[in-house]
Amino acid sequence: MSHFSKIKTSITDSKVLKKTLNDLSFVHKSFFEDNNIASDSSLDRKEIIFVYDSYISESLLPCCSFEWNDNEYVIVVDLSLWNLDIDFHYFTERLLQQYAYNIVIDQGYNEGFHCIDEKVYDNGSISLILQKF
């Protein structure tokens, strides 16, 4: 019996989320669901991003999806059908770390900064030095 879990995230930027999925070698496809059929406004369209393991054909079921819920994305997953070689909690930790990294780089770039040094420590933490030229 399937049971979908919805897990809140702090992910708010669709473009950065998609870049993060690409960085982690996942395939993704976006679909839009109309929340209000009577409205023609694109604001009433909810984005759903389906995530596929890069080594598995996209015709198979996605491993999870990200659904917009008015102010952030939630991860929708059936943990009983989770079929990746990594633990789901490790997946979410890695995803959120890479997303945070991409947000810092993206925001820094928008403000005129460039990354001049990056260190990844044994515990997995990342240190960045950005400089404005």
Instruction: At 22, list the tokens.
Output: 């690409």
Q: What per-residue confidence (pLDDT) applies to 31?
A: 92
**Domains contained in the chain, number:** 1
Q: What per-residue confidence (pLDDT) applies to 104?
A: 97
| Stretches in the chain below the pLDDT threshold 50 | none
Residue 104 CA to residue 99 CA, distance in Å, equals: 9
Range of the domain at 71: 5-132
Phi, psi angles (nearest 5°) of residue 64: -170, 175
pTM: 0.84
Residues 6+ apart with CB under 8 A from 41: none
Q: What per-residue confidence (pLDDT) applies to 12?
A: 96
Residue 75 CA to residue 7 CA, distance in Å, equals: 5
At 52 the three-state DSSP class reads strand
Residue-wise pLDDT tens digits, 92-117: 999 999 999 999 999 999 999 999 99
